[in-house]
Amino acid sequence: MHWPGAGLARASDASTAVSSHLMAWSCAVCGGEESTDRYSVPDDASEGGVDPEGFRPSSDQFGVTVARVVTCATCGHGSVAETPSSSAVRVAYEEAADPVSLREEAGQVETSRRALAAIERFVAPALMCDLGCWTGSFMAAAEERGWRAVGVEPSAWASGRARERGLDVRTTTLQDSAVERGSCRLVVLCDVLEHLDEPAAALRIAHDLLEPGGVVYITLPDAGSRLAKIMGRRWWSVMPMHLQYFTRASATRLLDAEGFRVRSVGTHAKVFSARYYAERLGGYNPLLGRLTAAAAQRSGIGNRLVAPDFRDRMAIIASTST
C-alpha cells in the first residue's frame, strides 16, 4: 500500500497562498483544450486554501476539491480546471504528517508484497526507486525480497519515519532525487500521479531513471470505474490533494506518449485494518465512522487485515524499450 505524499510539484516562490495558474486549461494527457464540467466546488470546499491537514494520507475530506473538476472532451481524462500554486502544494506535502499510517504499516507492507509478486513476473530484483515513498513500506517489502531500494519523499515526518526503519530515503522532491540515470530496474509511483499538475513530467523522470527493459509500477484511483461513476462527486477519491482523475484509457495513453509499453493493468486492493476501513465512513458521517470503528474494536476484528477490492483503483506495470 502506498500513501499519498508525493509533493512533487515545482515551487516557484515562498508563499503558501493559493493562486491559480493564469494559463487557459489544457488536458494533462492529450493537450486538448475543450472540456465539460464534472465536479463543481461546494460552498464549504477548500478552494482558496491548501493545507497539510487536507493532504494527509488518511484524510477523509471526500467530495472536496481545490477547484472545479473538468473532463477532457477529446480523451476523457479529468483534472482540476485551475491548479493551486506549486508552492502551496509543496509546503502542504512537506508539512504533512499522519500517525494513523504508523498503525497501518503491516497492511501497507502486505499490499506491497502482493504488488512485488506481480512485478517480478516481468523483472528480477535489482535497484528500485520509490518516488513519493511516504514512510517506506513498499521499500521495506522490496528489501525483504532481495531488492536494493532508495526512496524520495518530501514530507519531513514521513521520510524521518522511513529512515527509522533503516531505509535509504531522501527528504526531497522527485526532481532532486540524485539517483543515477539508467540505474534502476524498477521505479514506483504509487498514489503519486493524481497529485501532480504535470504527470507527464514525472513519467519522463521515471523513464530516465530506468535501465533498458526496466519497469514502472503505478497505482491510481480509476475515475472511469463503475463505482466512481455511480458515486459521482461523493466518490472517496474526490479529495483536495487530487489534481488529476485518470481512467484506464487516459493513463495508458499518457504512458504510451512518454515511451512506455503497458504490460499489465489490473485493480488495486489495499490492505488495511478493519478498523481503518470503518473509520473512513467518517468522511460521510462522522458519528457513523466512530460507531462503526468502535464496534469493530469491541468485536475483536478491528486489527484484522482486510483487502476489499472495490474495483475503483488501478495498478499498472509498464516497461521501457529493451
CA distance 165 to 152: 15
CA distance 285 to 168: 39
CA distance 320 to 322: 6
How much of the chain is in helix, strand and coil states, percent to nearest 5? 35, 20, 45
CA distance 131 to 177: 8
Dihedral, CA of residue 238, residue 242, residue 243 and residue 247, to nearest 10: -70
Cell digits of residue 53: 491537514
Task: Count CA atoms within 13 Å of residue 47 on its CB side.
Answer: 17
Give the DSSP letter of residue 271: P
User: Which amino acid, residue 136?
Assistant: G
- The helix (H) or strand (E) run that includes residue 143 is helix 137-144
**pTM score of the predicted model:** 0.89
Assigned architecture for domain 100-221+248-319: 3-Layer(aba) Sandwich (3.40)
CA distance 1 to 138: 7
Domain ranges, ordered by start, for the chain: 100-221+248-319
pLDDT tens-digit readout, 287-297: 888 889 899 89
Structure confidence at residue 47 (pLDDT): 43
CA distance 317 to 210: 13
The alpha carbon dihedral of 171, 173, 178, 181 has a sign of: positive
Give SS3 for 39: strand
Structure confidence at residue 24 (pLDDT): 87
CA distance 4 to 167: 18
Structure confidence at residue 15 (pLDDT): 31
Structure confidence at residue 234 (pLDDT): 92
Task: Decide: residue 229, CB within 10 A, 0-12 exposed, 13-18 middle, 19+ buried.
Answer: exposed
CA distance 259 to 203: 9
Residue among 132, 52, 133 nearest 92 (CA):
52
Profile the chain (322 residues) by mean pLDDT over runs of 10 residues: 40 33 81 94 53 61 87 97 84 89 96 98 98 97 98 96 98 89 98 95 97 98 97 92 96 98 98 93 86 91 96 98 75
Give SS3 for 64: coil
**Do 97 and 158 meet the contact criterion of CB atoms below 8 Å apart?**
yes
